[in-house]
Amino acid sequence: MTKTAVGFIGLGLMGQGMAANILAKGHPLVGMAHRNRTPLEALVAKGASEATSPREMAERCDVIVLCVTGSPEVLAVVEGEGGIASAGRPLTIVDCSTSDPSVTTALAARLAQKQITLIDAPLGRTPADAAAGTLDVMVGGAEADVAKVRPILDCFAGRVIHTGPTGTGHTMKLLNNFLSMGYAALYAEALMLGRKAGLTPETFDSVIRGGRMDCGFYQTFFRWVLERDPNAHKFAMRNGFKDMSYLSAFANAAGAANPMGAAVRNAFALAVGAGRGEDYVPMLSDFVAEANGLK
Give me the active site residues, please.
Answer: 173
CA distance 159 to 139: 11
Q: Is the dihedral of CA 45, 27, 170, 103 positive or negative?
A: positive
**Residues 288, 186 contacting (CB under 8 angstroms):** no
Return the SS3 of 63.
strand
Question: DSSP readout, 93-146?
Answer: EEE-S---HHHHHHHHHHHHTTTEEEEE--EES-HHHHHHT-EEEEEES-HHHH
- Would you call 8 helix, strand, or coil by DSSP? strand
- Check: CB of residue 31 under 8 Å from CB of residue 19: yes
**Are the C-beta atoms of 276 and 217 separated by less than 8 Å?**
no
